[in-house]
Amino acid sequence: MAEQTMRTHPDIQELRAKYERAAETPAGKAVAGLIFLAGLYLAISPFVVGFSGFTSLTGNNLIVGIAVAMLALGFASAYGRTHGLAWVAPLIGIWTIISPWVISGDVATTATIWNNVVTGAVILLLGLGAMFPGQGRIR
């Protein structure tokens, strides 16, 4: 009898199928799409809002925004395999909220603070939605 690996275990297969069904619901698609858009906005926000003089915060937002967008692409294309990373999105949201103070300190401007706090809160809430897709509705 061949040794069964976790990858081929029937319970894992069933769990992945459940997550895939949850991701295919309109709410699941909306969450993944909105996380993607929030990540893209975070990446371009320094250039939209004008973070002149904040090169470290600009680089942070660019890198973190691209990471959020890539995470959302994983959720949209293979949630059954990427659902284990869903906890990262809320943490990135929290980081985005506090990053103006951590990176720029007391010199952060109202524009940089508001941009990151609002965008971070959106990513945090959507990330929580990605962590618990279709709770109680998908069987």
Provide the whole-model pTM.
0.79
Q: How confident is residue 95, by pLDDT bands cut at 50, 70 and 90?
A: very high
User: In this predicted structure, what is the pLDDT of residue 80?
Assistant: 64
pLDDT confidence tier of residue 139, bands split at 50, 70 and 90? very low
Domain edges within the chain: 13-131
CB 98 within 8 A of CB 121: no
Q: What is the pLDDT of residues 47-87, one digit of tens each?
A: 999 888 899 999 999 999 999 999 999 888 876 667 778 89
Q: What is the pLDDT of residues 14-46, one digit of tens each?
A: 656 666 666 567 677 888 899 999 999 999 999
Residue 20: name the closest of 78, 70, 69 by CA: 78
Q: Which residue has the higher pLDDT, 27 or 102?
A: 102
Are residues 139 and 41 in contact, defined by beta-carbon separation less than 8 angstroms?
A: no
